[in-house]
Chain A
């Protein structure tokens, strides 16, 4: 039935491999930060089309606290080729930690029963799911949710000191 709004960010345990970091690194990044977890696949054209926008979001919103974690979900057996995934990570400019979910442990943990890609899960700083969407237009929905929620998640910035 899918992950419920308000559900807690699951453990990232169970990946077969991590690129651009480790599980511990990804979990430390997500801890206390609003975090976008996105499922993608080397065989998914829409995922690749959306990837520059994911990268832009990752780089422009980092200062506001946003963290991004990728999960590679194989759509076909051929997608299990880790070297091919690694090439695509480089080609697509993915600098965020990416889990290779080649035993479907994360897919199960995120209740992605239908195997949707791209699928976007946005968690707030408390690790609660605030927005879920999948597909081409799904990214727009999640971007809008991030735009609404992120400002409220920023640490309180003190008013600029007029003396400075």
Chain B
């Protein structure tokens, strides 16, 4: 029901340019003066990870998993942004809270504040009557084209491993693969 309401305004179509965005973020956690813009990520693969609220229970594990695997993302030319409809001040407080206290301290990628809810709405993940985002995950290619999206129920977290697999698959689409290797007896 809420998902249907979210989809109604969706602009994010796989294979089409990803909806543009500019949001305040925690890139500079002291001054909070460095926004994140889609155009900043031209030339990189970009993963947008929407989540409902700071300081909630399932989220930290989910967001910290993406942080723990962050080097694996940068190794394949990808970056990550976490997005909720909270303010940057809430994000900062959460980033200053240790993991053992339910925080996300030490997160390696920025959290963006979709305070106007425009971005969540454009990506079709805004639950209008609650003003929070579903657990949507989007992969945008280096040219700004949306290549993958998945939206989970609020109770289900997303997998960094699966996201890495998807990006690698997108980087190697429509190819041939050697069935044999010189000197390798294990391959036919």
Interface residue ranges, A against B (CB under 8 Å)? 1-2, 4-6, 41, 43-47, 73-77, 80, 102-104, 107, 114-119, 131-138, 141, 144-145, 148-149
Do A132 and B77 have beta carbons less than 8 Å apart?
yes
Q: Is the CB of A104 within 8 A of B77?
A: no
Pick from B26-34, B91-99, B149-157, B180-188 the stretch touching chain A: B180-188
CB-based contact A135/B180 at 8 Å: no
Knowing A41-B176, A75-B176, say if A141 contacts B171 (CB, 8 Å): yes
B176–A44 CB distance below 8 A: yes
Once the chains bind, are B174 and A135 in contact (CB under 8 Å)? yes
Contact yes or no, A148 B179, CB < 8 A: no
Give complex CA distance A138, B176 in Å: 12
CB < 8 Å A-B pair total? 97
Instruction: Find out whether the CB atom of A114 lies under 8 angstroms from the CB atom of B177.
Output: yes
Shortest Cβ distance from residue A3 to the other chain B in the assembled complex, whole angstroms = 9
- Which residues of chain A come closer than 8 Å to B43, judged between CB atoms? 145, 148-149
**Chain B residue at minimum C-beta to C-beta distance from A136:** B174
Q: Does B86 contact A (CB under 8 A)?
A: no
Interface residues on chain B, size class: 20 to 34
Chain B interface residues toward A at CB < 8 A = 42-43, 74-77, 141-143, 168, 171-184
Contact partners of A5 in chain B: CB under 8 A:
74-77
Q: How far is the CB of B118 from chain A (nearest CB, A)?
A: 28
Q: How long is the Cα–Cα vector from A102 to B174 in the complex, in angstroms?
A: 24
Residues in A with CB closer than 8 Å to B177 are 75, 114-117
CA distance A118 to B174 in the complex (A): 9
Cβ–Cβ contact B142 & A141, under 8 A: yes
The residues of B that contact A141 with a CB separation of less than 8 Å are: 141-143, 171
Q: 6 A-B residue contacts at CB 8 Å?
A: A45-B176, A73-B178, A75-B179, A116-B176, A117-B177, A134-B172
Q: Is the CB of B173 within 8 A of A136?
A: yes
B142: which A residues are within 8 A, CB to CB?
131, 141, 144-145
Is the beta-carbon distance between A135 and B183 smaller than 8 angstroms? no
Nearest A residue to B77, CB-CB: A5
Q: Are A47 and B176 also in contact (CB < 8 A) when A2-B168, A141-B142 are?
A: yes
